[in-house]
DNA sequence: CGATAATCGAGACGGTACGTCTCGTCTTTCC
DNA sequence: GGAAAGACGAGACGTACCGTCTCGATTATCG
């Protein structure tokens, strides 16, 4: 009987130290050069304590940034999670959101961790599922809520699959950033929204 | 003076053996578990011969698949590179192409190498640039040529940036595959083309 | 703080396996062709376990044969270490000992290890010091004890430095063996003792 | 047909450059850290040129210092080689020579090369033979000539084997230096000569 | 409250792979 | 055809981490 560890006895102190060390190290030296050994050393923790609760480097780093994002949400809404602006003007609202996203991606502090997260997602289906469930899911739900609201207002075609719509809107931006295949500017965000709205216009 | 090696003296025999070994190993054990040591051993080559000409595992694997693709092009067109079908019917042509792409992505033989390639691109800007120049570039040019042809035929708006258009058409598909965020079916390809054409319709 | 490893946690199992592997390999392929890698492999041990406790190949091989010799002593005397025969006849006793030494040097099984040991001693002062302390020291002490006994019996001059005397007696033999500059025979041993005794005769 | 190289075509320029580079490198970094590669680079010579004419590092270094010594002899005597002082007073002459030897060994510039030479001799019988023939031989002959002269003068016993005598005189000094087992002082040289003469006294 | 059990920090262990260095051979180009 | 230059196959070097495995020394319930 290998006996799973008892989560009740888990040291919250160590857990926090590990996640913080992971975050720091990814920012400092980049995901590829982070090692479990380094995380343990910086966190002042035995290696076994990491292996007891995570499957490996990927899972730790992943958790580290997930925890960060979830903490951020917690502060803001508490009950609700994420919400997108809804002024009634779908074009204005989307351009606001997309310009904000462009700006966020330009922040070098986000560069390392988000790229790291994406690499894990690409190569590990399990983490990908967890990511969709815990991070992307809620956000996507909020975005879809805004689109639904616009549909109800007759601003968007009612018969379009919202998952596909979301991809149409975000994937180009995401891909351009991930592959560094072009500049991310507010003008780009606007152009993308314009095309998107044309595609979604009620017939 | 670090003294770069002289490309004229390079052994073509070894180069081929290394690239082939890299391809085989990625297919057999997956990118993450491939090691320079294993590539050298399988290729019957000293490790130094790899380090002399490549920066590391990423670069070798990358080159291996790039060379494969470029070889493929050579056989087919010789003078031309890539061309997309042009029956005059842009909708039919795009659906053909997108369905083919979907099918290609479903092939498990492409899974490992393309994911590996993408991970390298995400984490190494230099390889990303090389990728765009040698692989994506020519293909994108062909795609843009087809779209331009449709613009000339009055089937697409003439004032749209074709780089953006290309992203709108391909990024959703690419992202869904990369993140495994949904099924890739012919129906999906059709729906994507429909939305794209609506967005690109001449006003 | 480079942090030395904790000797208390050291695995005696591994230590023994390493020393034995080192001994075997030196005997089989000769000192120059022994590698740390081969020792580790034969001992079933990680390379790091060797580097953790020794400075390099020289130190391991050295330790291996030193340990062997020390083990040998332990078996024999337990309390005392080494003792030389003392029949009261210094000439007979020395000839016995020197003939035995000559015979020992002729044994091909001693050839490789002792030459290896000597090469390390020549090139590494630190190992030389350790050698003198752990191996040569006790033996020399026994030899000097015998000479002192002869001095007390009036068979040798009382005013001669025993360190010098020891060198006079042993260095010629040792050098002839090391440099292969001549044959090592019982007659040679006798001649050497004769000359030595003449030099040491009480005036 | 492996075909030995033709010595007639050998480049004297390269030979000199190699030997000089070998000497310099041994002095600078120590024998163990010298590599054929480094010698070739410093000599401005292809590696093959070294392998064509020598068996390996040992042989080159050995030759380098041997050539040096032989060159030294050449300058001095031309016709004769080495000669030892002969004032008629064997004790004074030997003390002079031994004190000079002690002084020579104390010179740090001799340290590295002579130790290197000795290590090669210990581990390679072929080089040992060459060493005796080309270097030690002539010197020993000179020493024996001086001892013979003393024998003829009735200062030393006539029936002693001179090879053994030579060992008795030099081996203690040589061993003490090689193993660093004690200080090398003029007083030590004198004491050694005193004991030696007592051993060699005509009965 | 004192027993007892699991987590914890620490770090040695058998391994794999790294990227570098040197070996001795082979090949190319020049003289 | 020797020599410089240097790429090549081979493989050891010493280092960094891997994931597993003891070790005491704290905790933290439970008897």
Neighbours of chain C (3+ CB pairs under 8 A): D
> In C49-94, which ranges are E strands?
none
How does DSSP assign A59-88, residue by residue? HHHHHHHHHHHHHHHHHHHTTS-------S
Say whether pLDDT at D63 is over 80.
yes
C 26-45 residues with CB < 8 A to D: 31-32
Tokens of A104: 């966020």
Closest to C81 measured CA to CA, from C140, C122, C168:
C140
At B2 the pLDDT is 52
Distance CA A114, CA B122 (A): 11
**Which residue gives the smallest C-alpha to C1' distance to E14?**
C46
In angstroms, the CA of C16 and the C1' of E8 are apart by 32
Mean pLDDT of B163-178: 94
At D51 the pLDDT is 92
Q: DSSP character for A107? A: -
At B167 the pLDDT is 95
Cβ separation B200–A200 shorter than 8 A: no
Sequence-separated (6 or more) residues with CB below 8 Å from residue B101? B170, B173, B189
Q: Are C45 and C18 in contact (CB under 8 A)?
A: yes
Q: Tens digits of per-residue pLDDT, D2-40? A: 446 666 677 888 898 999 999 888 888 888 889 999 999
Smallest CA–C1' separation from D40: which nucleotide? Answer: F4
In angstroms, the CA of A9 and the C1' of E1 are apart by 21
Q: Are B7 and B14 in contact (CB under 8 A)?
A: no
Scored b (16 or more CB within 10 A) or e, A120-131 reads: bbbbbeebbebb
Mean pLDDT of C145-174: 91
Sequence-separated (6 or more) residues with CB below 8 Å from residue C67? C19
For chain B, what percent of residues have pLDDT higher than 90?
55
Question: What is the SS3 assignment for D2?
Answer: coil
Question: For residue B26, which residues of chain A lie inside 8 Å, CB to CB?
Answer: none
Say whether pLDDT at D75 is over 70.
no
Distance (Å) from the alpha carbon of D33 to chain C's nearest alpha carbon: 12
pLDDT category of residue D176 using cuts at 50, 70 and 90: very high
Closest to C163 measured CA to CA, from D195, D94, D96:
D195
- Most confident residue range from B59-68, C13-22, C111-120, C149-158: C13-22
Q: Are C112 and C68 in contact (CB under 8 A)?
A: no
Q: Which residue has the tokens 């010098």?
A: C164
Question: What is the SS3 assignment for A55?
Answer: coil
Q: Residues 26-65 of chain D: which lie with beta carbon within 7 Å of strand F?
A: 44-49, 52
Residue A195 has its nearest CB partner, among B115, B164, B188, at B164
Distance CA B109, CA B115 (A): 11
Closest to A53 measured CA to CA, from A95, A4, A94:
A4
Q: Tens digits of per-residue pLDDT, B4-55? A: 788 888 999 999 999 999 999 998 998 889 999 999 999 999 999 999 999 9
For chain D, what percent of residues have pLDDT higher than 70?
89
Q: Which residue has the tokens 């997930």?
A: A66
Say whether pLDDT at D87 is over 70.
yes
Residues (pLDDT < 50) of chain A are 1-2, 76-79
Query: How many CB atoms sit inside 10 A of residue D138's CB?
Result: 16
Domains parsed from chain A with CATH numbers: 1-81 (1.10.357.10), 82-200 (1.10.357.10)
At B33 the pLDDT is 93
At C164 the pLDDT is 92
Say whether pLDDT at D76 is over 70.
no
In angstroms, the CA of A51 and the C1' of E10 are apart by 15
Sequence-separated (6 or more) residues with CB below 8 Å from residue A154? A202
At C45 the pLDDT is 97
Neighbours of chain A (3+ CB pairs under 8 A): B
């Amino acid at each position: 009987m290998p006996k799973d560890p008892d989560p009740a006895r888990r040291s919250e102190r160590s857990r926090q130290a590990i996640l913080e060390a992971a975050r720091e190290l990814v920012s400092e030296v980049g995901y590829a050069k982070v090692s479990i050994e380094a995380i343990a050393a910086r966190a002042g923790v035995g290696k076994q304590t990491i292996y007891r609760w995570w499957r490996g480097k990927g899972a730790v780093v992943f958790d580290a940034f997930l925890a960060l994002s979830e903490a951020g949400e917690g502060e803001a809404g508490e009950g609700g999670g994420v919400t997108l602006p809804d002024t009634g003007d779908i074009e204005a609202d989307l351009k606001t959101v997309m310009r904000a996203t462009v700006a966020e991606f330009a922040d070098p502090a986000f560069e390392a961790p988000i790229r790291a997260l994406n690499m894990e997602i690409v190569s590990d289906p399990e983490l990908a599922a967890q990511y969709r469930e815990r991070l992307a899911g809620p956000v996507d739900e909020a975005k879809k809520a805004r689109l639904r609201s616009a549909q109800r207002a007759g601003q968007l075609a009612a018969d379009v699959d919202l998952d596909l719509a979301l991809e149409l809107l975000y994937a180009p931006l995401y891909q351009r950033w991930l592959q560094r295949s072009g500049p991310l500017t507010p003008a780009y965000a606007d152009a993308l929204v314009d095309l998107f709205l044309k595609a979604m216009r009620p017939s």
